Structure 1
Amino acid sequence: MKWVWSGGLRTNPSDPRMRRGQSGPSSHCSALPFCPPLTPPSPPEKQPTAPPHPPRVSKMDSKVNNPPGCHYNETVEFFYNHSGKLISPTWRKRDFLVVGLGLTVCIIVILANILVMTAIIINRRFHFPIYYLLGNLAAADLFAGISYLYLMFHTGPWTVKLKKQEWFIRQGLIDTSLTASVVNLLAVAVERHQTVFTMQLHSTMTNQRVVLLIVGIWGLAIIMGLVPTMGWHCICDLEGCSTMAPMYSRTYMVFWAGLNLLTFSIMVAVYTRIFIYVRHKSHRMSQHTTQVRHRQTVINLMKTVSMILGAFVICWTPGLVVLLLDGLDCVSCKVLNYEKYCLVLAECNSLMNPIIYSYRDKDMRRTFKRILCFLCRRSSDQEGEQSGVHFNTLEQENHNRETDSAKNGNNGAQLLALQNSGEPLPS
């Protein structure tokens, strides 16, 4: 192969492009200092760029956000269907009845317990540790009423629309209210045990200790309400899911129900011991009037507290037993058939305490009347100012009647005196 220098470039004569009629580097590039390439240049190849790096996720975050075998991305309905507690997509007559009755009871519970708390605040006779604890029990019942009110607006077909966080909030509110009530009743039992065994009416506990005790009660209640949310659930263990609470673990249900039933047993044992002691002590006390009255006052207060405890145990024990059976995976027990009835019974317990106070405690009953009469008087005064008509209260009516009768009596005495003196009577 021979190479020929043409225009300062080395070319190959045997190249077909050097033939006649075809353009080649010798025909076009003779006068140029350089010759373009024989073939058009190919575009430069782009350097392959590395794909963007995904955001770095630590091992801890990956385990929390998407652990293997967990179902954090599933809906609430998924857990209900898996547990066999099917949700109706439409409203049934039963749902309307449950929600309507539940809303009515919740409103009454809230108003009644606000009345109890107001009575304890405004009446100085109730400014003692035992009544502070009973007021805290009313606060727990008030919180229970609010919790059930929230439940009524997130039940039935509305449950399908709930997020998992909202479902845990709904259940956590109820758990918190129950824990606050149970621990508060246990504190009342300890306080009564301390005072009765010294035959005192009220405890010597200072107000600061009572406040710390109440704060501790609510702190423990909030922690117990947050336990399932913090990890004791069945999102990563579908086989361990409860039937009544489809995202709660059955082990938690056993722990929860068993702990409350154990607390009930302790309180019943404490009150039984107190009653045995009071009965034995009353036979040995002298028949002095002051001691008899003091003993009777202590016994009456003990009866009131015992009625509160008895109502609580009666209303909550069926529900806790059903929860325990559900946690033990008793398939033949058919716990879902009793769920609604146990819920209504537990809800009614928050209404029992104001009724017991009204029936057993005269001072509490009088304070209730004062509050209600004040509200009625205030509303009637406002209506009278707007309409220009003044409505007298019961006390004012009685005062007016006494004044009129006194005037009539004085007029009658004057007329009788004039008649006896022989003077003419006024026409």
Structure 2
Amino acid sequence: MTNLTMDGCPPNRTVKFYYEASGKNINTFWRKRDYVVVTLGMTVCIIVILSNLLVMGAIFKNRRFHYPIYYLLANLALADFFSGISYLHLMFHTGPWTIKLSIEQWFLRQGLIDTSLTASVLNLLAVAVERHQTIFNMQLHSEMSTRRIFVIIVFIWLVSIILGLIPSMGWHCLCDLKECSTMAPMYSRSYLVFWAILNLLTFSIMVVVYTRIFLYVRHKSQQMSQHTSELRHRETVVNLMKTVSMILGCFVICWTPGLVVLLLDGLGCDECNVLRYEKYCLVLAECNSFVNAIIYSFRDKDMRKTFKEILCCLCNRKSNRGATSEVHFTNTEHEKSKLHIARRREQLNGTPLLRDNMENASTSEGS
């Protein structure tokens, strides 16, 4: 990538050079604030990774979740899991460590975050389309085949990876310092504008789709009779819609401030002081990756039950191992007792004693 990105540019330019040119300072030493940020960031990343692993395991473990909507939610958890990995990688390449990065490593760091966000956005859009299709057809679950869902998931990740690689493939400012942004000193301002507007438009489309769905469900629920089966079906649809809408709402709340700040930076708003809000927007966006698991836990009883089964699985295995070792201990004591009796018989030339028989009998009863 070096020959492609640096072709025609002055040689020996480093990450530090671009940061200083854009006005974004990097500390060369560790401050208490840096230690606190990295420690908290790594803690959140570990929570994100473990919680989304739990969500994916629950969806694939419970047969009740083997439907297109839950496969898409599992892919959303995969995107959040990948986001946790991306932020964990960022924690090990931030602060004073940033100066030591090569240009390729810096693009990799940013590309991982861009890919995870794009995957989440596209996945939420796929969920919105799936819910629109099923609810307007008066269905609880889509009739799409597993193969089609797999194709959609692969398409989501291909597009996400491509959008994450675009800056390193040429849409950057390595050869034009005037176009460099402030928050991402090697990204072109035009790319930030494109990326922010694209995601904000996607958010808007999803909000419109869900608003239309809610209005339709509300209208249909008023027309339904009071039959028990219809009421249960309506409650199930509404509960699932509420869960998905909460996920979308939290995503929009957590990511919109960051995208707005990126858009302002891309538009060259020097009075906006985007660097002042950068850290807060980053933390807010990172927190979104484990909010979904909390929503699953509180909104879905089956999901919550499956979570408990998975978490208790290791405890049950440990207790089974303990029980096995206890039986082994009892058998060992029994064998020692029998060996002791046999030795005493050998000492008495094989003549059994009443006491030996009593010990043998008591040992048999104990076993």
- The aligned runs of 1:111-260 (5 Å cut-off) are 111-260=50-199
- The aligned runs of 1:11-410 (5 Å cut-off) are 66-67=7-8, 70-71=9-10, 73-382=12-321
Match of 1:43 in 2: none
Task: Report deviation, 1:64.
Answer: 7.0
Q: State the AA in 1 paired with 2:213.
A: I
Paired with 1:176 and 1:127, the residues of 2 have a C-alpha distance of: 26
Paired with 1:335 and 1:93, the residues of 2 have a C-alpha distance of: 23
1:290/1:384 Cα in 2 relative to 1: closer, same or farther (>3 Å)? Answer: same
Q: State the AA in 2 paired with 1:83.
A: S
- Aligned to 2:109, the other structure's residue is in SS state helix
1:294/1:72 Cα in 2 relative to 1: closer, same or farther (>3 Å)? Answer: farther
1:343/1:284 Cα in 2 relative to 1: closer, same or farther (>3 Å)? Answer: same
Task: Report deviation, 1:387.
Answer: 8.1
Q: For each residue in 1:303-322, what CA deviation from the matched residue of structure 2 results, as whole angstroms up to 9, or x when unmatched?
A: 00000000000000010000
Task: Report deviation, 1:198.
Answer: 1.3
Paired with 2:41 and 2:7, the residues of 1 have a C-alpha distance of: 38
TM-score with structure 2 setting the length: 0.87
Task: Report deviation, 1:386.
Answer: 6.3
Q: For each residue in 1:231-257, what CA deviation from the matched residue of structure 2 results, as whole angstroms up to 9, or x when unmatched?
A: 000001100101000000000000011
Task: Report deviation, 1:62.
Answer: 8.9
Instruction: Indicate conservation of the 8 Å contact 1:84/1:243, yes or no.
Output: yes
Instruction: Indicate conservation of the 8 Å contact 1:66/1:72, yes or no.
Output: no
Instruction: Indicate conservation of the 8 Å contact 1:72/1:235, yes or no.
Output: no
Q: For each residue in 1:391-426, what CA deviation from the matched residue of structure 2 results, as whole angstroms up to 9, or x when unmatched?
A: xxxxxxxxxxxxxxxxxxxxxxxxxxxxxxxxxxxx
Task: Report deviation, 1:268.
Answer: 0.3
Paired with 2:170 and 2:33, the residues of 1 have a C-alpha distance of: 34
Paired with 2:146 and 2:169, the residues of 1 have a C-alpha distance of: 34
Paired with 1:383 and 1:318, the residues of 2 have a C-alpha distance of: 52
- Aligned to 1:233, the other structure's residue is in SS state coil
Task: Report deviation, 1:384.
Answer: 5.9
Task: Report deviation, 1:380.
Answer: 3.8
Q: State the AA in 1 paired with 2:187.
A: Y
Paired with 2:44 and 2:3, the residues of 1 have a C-alpha distance of: 46
Task: Report deviation, 1:66.
Answer: 3.8
Task: Report deviation, 1:73.
Answer: 2.7
Paired with 1:334 and 1:387, the residues of 2 have a C-alpha distance of: 66
Q: State the AA in 1 paired with 2:279.
A: K
Paired with 2:254 and 2:122, the residues of 1 have a C-alpha distance of: 16
Structure with a larger share of its residues in helix = 2
Q: For each residue in 1:137-184, what CA deviation from the matched residue of structure 2 results, as whole angstroms up to 9, or x when unmatched?
A: 000000000000000000000000000000000000000000000000
1:386/1:326 Cα in 2 relative to 1: closer, same or farther (>3 Å)? Answer: farther
Structure 1, unaligned runs of 5 or more: 1-60, 391-427
1:325/1:72 Cα in 2 relative to 1: closer, same or farther (>3 Å)? Answer: farther
- Aligned to 1:82, the other structure's residue is in SS state helix
TM-score with structure 1 setting the length: 0.75
1:160/1:382 Cα in 2 relative to 1: closer, same or farther (>3 Å)? Answer: farther
Instruction: Indicate conservation of the 8 Å contact 2:4/2:170, yes or no.
Output: no
- Aligned to 1:104, the other structure's residue is in SS state helix
Instruction: Indicate conservation of the 8 Å contact 2:4/2:169, yes or no.
Output: no
Structure 2, unaligned runs of 5 or more: 330-367
Q: For each residue in 1:16-49, what CA deviation from the matched residue of structure 2 results, as whole angstroms up to 9, or x when unmatched?
A: xxxxxxxxxxxxxxxxxxxxxxxxxxxxxxxxxx
Q: For each residue in 1:175-200, what CA deviation from the matched residue of structure 2 results, as whole angstroms up to 9, or x when unmatched?
A: 00000000000000000000111121
Q: For each residue in 1:303-362, what CA deviation from the matched residue of structure 2 results, as whole angstroms up to 9, or x when unmatched?
A: 000000000000000100000010011111100011111111000000001000000000
Mark the structure with the bigger radius of gyration.
1
Structure 1 residues 153-162 or 374-383, which shifts more?
A: 374-383
Instruction: Indicate conservation of the 8 Å contact 2:6/2:174, yes or no.
Output: no
- Aligned to 1:229, the other structure's residue is in SS state helix
1:74/1:193 Cα in 2 relative to 1: closer, same or farther (>3 Å)? Answer: same
Paired with 1:64 and 1:136, the residues of 2 have a C-alpha distance of: 33
1:167/1:385 Cα in 2 relative to 1: closer, same or farther (>3 Å)? Answer: farther
